Structure 1
């Protein structure tokens, strides 16, 4: 009776889960010592705790669903405290649930994770710029992954689901990061074939080559500095910001390498006066400047993009 009274007022899912695991171990011990008379007692207590745990978990899920981000006084680009708390809670529950797996708890944790991921997107929607939204999403996915990986294995289902989402958002951020500075270059490489098929193709090519020339006639080294500083400021974790910065520069080098290849191999561009007059840095010059940021490069930047 005393346990029922305590459990009825308990809203701590970790405490309830710990009590369940203590009972599991007592049950194993009793069975080893051939004391079957305690089985009914252990089962009754476990069911009592499990029922309460399910209720508390559902209350947590409901509370996440009811969060209204637009009512927050402010939302920073850094990881949100709700997400951090969830990650620590999820890591603890997942660790406890490893030895004596409870499918009901696993299902509830999957639902809770889905609601947290949805909440991250809703909070990100409060930022007006897509780039800011991506920074917020990436920072929160990263803190989730870091905390979960510390409590579980990196190959756990919880980590795998977040990894895929994080990868997609980083890819999108890389493009968003380059667009303000190198839009003419990116568009030229992506739409070159379409431009050559148009009737006004030569004129369009001349115009776009002029735009690209202006980028590199200016202080392009300063542009690289701006990108570097922007990425470092956006992601407080160096374990996150350094790989992202490498991907940004790798993507830029890939676009630039494709552009240089078009200039030297395409017969139309070879005969264009504008392309002959272009004074552009070569790839090695760009890499020399980028390596000043102490980012390792291994040739991945020259792989064909899919």
Structure 2
């Protein structure tokens, strides 16, 4: 019987190997640059599989249908079907579970000797061990390996529900094969991020980088699988991976000539990360909040740089002269959409502020050129800001949120300037040059409506 079952499993394993869809090779790491050289030398199919290997997508469905019948190789071959290796692995273990369950019950009922079962299945276990020893060292798909771990854990639960202990040793051994291989591949991914030579990597302007996308998709996949069947082993590994991508993003950003472009590059990447993590569900909330905080910090810095470029004299005047302010009653409402809050009725409430002290007391000569320069160029500058942000931001809604944050800050700073003009000697002579807050608010609303 041992020989019969061994031959049966050997034939099934060989047939399944012919159905395997090759996903990834040893060089397919997160820090791998899919550039035009690879497109020419390795082909479009390889590049598609490179991106596919980091994303969970529909591959997660295998865990929802863990008890479905295994593959029938003849039918799959007739339809020219290929499968990721985790599908083949589940089919092989499904056959083993069902065969072992029936044989174990038979041996117990007729012979009452459990050791006889292990003698009968010594051959099939050896066939599967040999198959895994050959296959796993050549598996470079960490998502596949994690899926196999989840499949094995679910199969442990199936056998527990059947109240059959006959595969306990085998399934524990399978996990001992899978975890070390997963950690080896994971460490290869991790090191690829640190070893990235950003000087040699292609960058598509300030748009999100494909390496960062691979990281986020891979992390979202692991977070979902960790919630499905994790035991805490992944938590520290995911933290190490996040630190590595933080380091890579900083190195990428340093390639840009100005702080403004650096912050814009980071904003686009953080925004992309948040969008992917939102799709991953509740399990990814913690990491999503982390990237939202990073986005918020960079948004403030980017707005400062953007305003300094277009309204430098105004921003410098406010920073140099105005130190301490108190709030008064006047309010101006501007429709604002932020990254985290997007409802029709949201409004930004601006509070006019009265000057009560100065770092350096301004005089009419300090204020006059700032007021007159603003009056001449403010509309054109707003349009330039709008065009730049909408063009350079990879996500239109996020770009508009950034633009409105900049306009709200501009409104705030200009109101400070207006209050200052009213309080300095001779300031009334500049009243005809001051642009009313209402006019600026109206212009800002026009950009709000472009959504």
TM-score interval, normalised by the smaller of the two chains: 0.7 to 0.9
Give the alignment partner of residue 80 of structure 1, picking from 196, 209, 213.
209
Residue 406 (structure 2) pairs with residue 248 (structure 1): yes
CA change 1:94–1:73 in 2 (3 A) is: closer
Q: Which runs of 5+ in 1 are unaligned?
A: 297-306
Any idea what the Cα deviations from partners look like across 1:50-104, whole Å, max 9, x if unmatched?
1100010001101110001112355521111101111111111111111212322
Give the alignment partner of residue 439 of structure 2, picking from 285, 293, 299.
285
Any idea what the Cα deviations from partners look like across 1:203-236, whole Å, max 9, x if unmatched?
x532321221222331321111011111111202
Residue number in structure 2 paired with 1:121: 250
5 Å-filtered alignment, 1:72-111, equals 72-111=201-240
Q: Distance in 2 between matches of 1:72 and 1:275?
A: 57
Give the alignment partner of residue 150 of structure 1, picking from 279, 286, 299.
279
Any idea what the Cα deviations from partners look like across 1:158-189, whole Å, max 9, x if unmatched?
11211111110011001111012222222333
Q: Distance in 2 between matches of 1:214 and 1:258?
A: 15
5 Å-filtered alignment, 1:1-306, equals 1=129, 2-153=131-282, 156-193=285-322, 196=358, 201=361, 204-264=362-422, 266=423, 269=424, 272-278=425-431, 279-295=433-449
**Which structure would you say has the larger Rg?**
2
Q: Which has the higher strand share?
A: 2
CA change 1:61–1:37 in 2 (3 A) is: same
Aligned-residue offset at 1:287 = 0.7
Q: Distance in 1 between matches of 2:203 and 2:447?
A: 33
Q: Which runs of 5+ in 2 are unaligned?
A: 1-128, 324-356
**1:75–1:123 CA contact under 8 A, matched in 2:** no
Query: Which 4+ stretches in 1 moved above 3 angstroms?
Result: 193-198
Q: Distance in 2 between matches of 1:180 and 1:14?
A: 45
Q: Distance in 2 between matches of 1:86 and 1:155?
A: 14
Structure 2 SS opposite 1:37:
coil
Q: Which has the higher helix share?
A: 1
Aligned-residue offset at 1:276 = 2.8
Q: Distance in 2 between matches of 1:197 and 1:178?
A: 21
Aligned-residue offset at 1:289 = 1.2
CA change 1:240–1:196 in 2 (3 A) is: closer
**1:246–1:295 CA contact under 8 A, matched in 2:** no
Q: Distance in 2 between matches of 1:125 and 1:41?
A: 51
Q: Distance in 2 between matches of 1:125 and 1:7?
A: 39
